[in-house]
Amino acid sequence: MEPYAEVVESYRRFAAEAADSPTFAAWAAAVADDSEVLAWIRTLPDIKQQPNLVFAAARHHGVPAPGPYDALRAALLGDTGPLRATILTRATQTNEVGRLATLVPAFARFDGPLALLEVGTSAGLCLYPDRWGYRWTTDAGDVVLGDDPLLPCRVKGPAPLPDRLPEIAWRGGIDLHPVDVTDPDETDWLQTLVWPEQDDRRDHLVRAIEIARQDPPAIVRGDLVEELPAAVERAAEHGTVVVFHSAVIAYLPPPRRADFDALIRDLVGDGRCHWVSNEGKRVLPSVTATGPPIPEEHPTFVLGIDGRMVAQTHGHGRALRWTG
Ligand SMILES: C[S@@+](CC[C@H](N)C(=O)[O-])C[C@H]1O[C@@H](n2cnc3c(N)ncnc32)[C@H](O)[C@@H]1O
């Protein structure tokens, strides 16, 4: 077996997945062929060897991106400790506001005013769907809702695109490690996690942080399964409760995912909340199974309303394929 086979494989896979960022694709491919850098990465704990985290830490310590691989290589091999410390103490915790363009059509299915409760909320940036505009590009042309900044999204299928922004009466979240939007160190790290060449995502993130700072959401620190029933009860004082999540449930071990699935279905069944899920197609099989089959090789998120699949979505909100 090739030395460091697993880490080589993970960097090669990342190089293929990072087509949206030529810099990261090139860096990952170069790492996979660089035995000295591979040896350095192998000295990290397994869960800290991920390309996203290593590259973000290097950028945090001044490696330019876009920029040449040699600068990354020199920073890693010449590190006297600070870069390694960043890798060991930080995590890849993105907060992608672009997903709102795919979530808003789901929120529009419920009568407001809404009490929005996001589990796995990170900094809570997706709790402000009413403070953004949207540009949904359909086969029949653009549908624009609200004012700048507009979040763009390509749309296929008979999506019920709303003609009014949602009315939000309350916004709150739950997260194991909430990001404090008022702490510049934490928000700088969030920005570092946006891949090079994705300037639109970075611009949106900066704007989203400004929006959240003006009216910070109520975020509870804790596990989403443990905290959910009490949080739903608190939210219910303010409006129609909509529990939602995107790119979160994959972080739970499979038995815990099943616990969450059972719990939220009970809450929905009791009429205590609605549920909007937006997760990778394999993460909540009970939701994915209610929609049309998705080809094995097709990577997609699945958008669900109250446990039933309604759409395939792009992981960062760039596309929505309504399946109904
Ligand atoms: C990839 S981020 C997604 C953040 C946000 N939902 C978005 O769409 O941008 C996943 C978040 O889930 C949180 N998380 C993971 N496991 C959790 C758990 N058991 N309970 C609460 N939050 C959790 C992480 O701390 C992280 O903030």
Would you kindly state where each structural domain of the chain is located, as residue ranges?
A: 5-89, 97-322
CA pseudo-torsion sign 273, 278, 279, 282: positive
Ligand 1 near 186 CB (within 6 A): no
CATH number at 97-322: 3.40.50
Other Cβ atoms less than 10 A from the Cβ of 308: the count is 15
Ligand 1 near 100 CB (within 6 A): no
- Rounded to the nearest angstrom, the distance between the alpha carbon of 277 and the centre of ligand 1 is 13
Ligand 1 near 223 CB (within 6 A): yes
Which residue ranges of the chain lie beneath pLDDT 70? 1-3
CA–CA separation, 225 and 267 (whole Å): 12
Give the CA count within 13 Å in the CB-facing half-sphere of 68.
3
Ligand 1 near 28 CB (within 6 A): no
- Helix 35-42 vs helix 5-17: crossing angle, to nearest 10: 110
Q: What is the pLDDT of residue 237?
A: 96
CA-nearest residue for atom 9, ligand 1, is 95
- Rounded to the nearest angstrom, the distance between the alpha carbon of 279 and the centre of ligand 1 is 11
CA–CA separation, 107 and 262 (whole Å): 22
- Helix 5-17 vs helix 22-32: crossing angle, to nearest 10: 160
CA–CA separation, 30 and 12 (whole Å): 9
Ligand 1 near 122 CB (within 6 A): yes
Q: What is the pLDDT of residue 112?
A: 83
Other Cβ atoms less than 10 A from the Cβ of 120: the count is 22
Ligand 1 near 219 CB (within 6 A): no
Ligand 1 near 86 CB (within 6 A): no
User: pTM for the complete prediction?
Assistant: 0.90
- Rounded to the nearest angstrom, the distance between the alpha carbon of 36 and the centre of ligand 1 is 34
CB 96 within 8 A of CB 316: yes
CA–CA separation, 114 and 117 (whole Å): 9
